[in-house]
Amino acid sequence: MKLCFFDDFRLGVVKGDAVVDVMDVVADIPRIKPQDLIVGLIENFDAYKGKLEAAAAQGQGKPLSSVRIRSPLPRPSTMVCMAVNYMEDGTLPEPPKINAFTKVGQAAIGDGDTMVLPDVPATVFEGEAELGVVFSRHTSHVSEADAMDHVFGYVNFIDGSARGLPPEGNVFYQMKSRDTFAPMGPFLVTKDEVPDPQDVHVQLWNDGEIKQDFRTSDMAHKIRRCISWVSANHTMEAGDVLATGTNHWGLHPFQDGNKIEMEIPG
């Protein structure tokens, strides 16, 4: 199932090139903000799945081209991004040491939104195409064997960077954890739609020119390992995101006005 928020953060199920409004189905989920709604649905998905499928089958829907798609996770409480987590098509002699960093919830934006390049002395702005893993429940000290049981689904994720900011050595916080620096979506895809997340095709285009083109099979530390390692450091909750890193071949500058597109087919 493909879930999305559209227009005024209405919840929808994507059916082909259309989106079916399913707000009536989830009307009893307590929420104050849109993130509360998607978290409540994720936590209780088994109870709603059949109702959502029925609503999508019966509803006519609106063309996706006629609505504004929002971030499927408008304000995650935690976003963890794996750092240097690819073998770069065999060019690295050995796997890098496992490492990660966090992004603030305010970094999350959706399809068609603008990644704002701040007026700071960065040497270059970039964005890295990544597979984002969305957690299904409270996850703490989970084993690699059980890790995938804690996955709800997946999102396209772009890890924005402002590289070269002073002082030297102040690496991840200033570079990564900025407003609008985590474009996601357009959809949240449930895990049953992705038989093998460890072998999907990731692509990114800048103004129609393909720049990144790789498979997640090139990861240095596989998804199970990443989930286990992160959950040993701190708890992840339903609706939190783990971005699994990128193959840096094709990484390039983002300039004002560029149109960035990302796809993981399937």
Domain-wise residue ranges, the chain? 2-66, 79-263
Separation of alpha carbons 67 and 249, rounded Å: 34
Amino acid identity, residue 74? Answer: P
- The pLDDT assigned to 65 comes to 97
State how far Cα 214 lies from the chain centre. Answer: 17
Other Cβ atoms within 10 Å of 33 Cβ, number = 11
Q: In the structure encoding, which two tokens stand for residue 55, read together?
A: 């609503």
The β-bridge relationship of strands 62-63 and 18-21 is antiparallel
- The pLDDT assigned to 90 comes to 81
Question: Which CATH homologous superfamily contains domain 79-263?
Answer: Fumarylacetoacetase-like, C-terminal domain (3.90.850.10)
Separation of alpha carbons 135 and 217, rounded Å: 21
Phi, psi of 56 (to 5 degrees): -65, -35
- The pLDDT assigned to 170 comes to 65
- The pLDDT assigned to 266 comes to 67
Other Cβ atoms within 10 Å of 217 Cβ, number = 13
- The pLDDT assigned to 89 comes to 87
Separation of alpha carbons 262 and 186, rounded Å: 10
pLDDT values of the chain reduced to their tens digit, one per residue, 266 residues: 999 999 999 999 999 999 999 999 999 999 999 999 999 999 999 999 999 999 999 988 999 999 999 999 999 999 999 999 999 988 889 999 999 999 999 999 999 999 999 999 999 999 999 999 999 999 999 999 999 999 999 999 999 999 998 887 667 889 999 999 999 999 999 999 999 999 999 999 999 999 999 999 999 999 999 999 999 999 999 999 999 999 999 999 999 999 999 999 86
Taking the whole predicted model, whether its pTM rises above 0.85 is answered as: yes
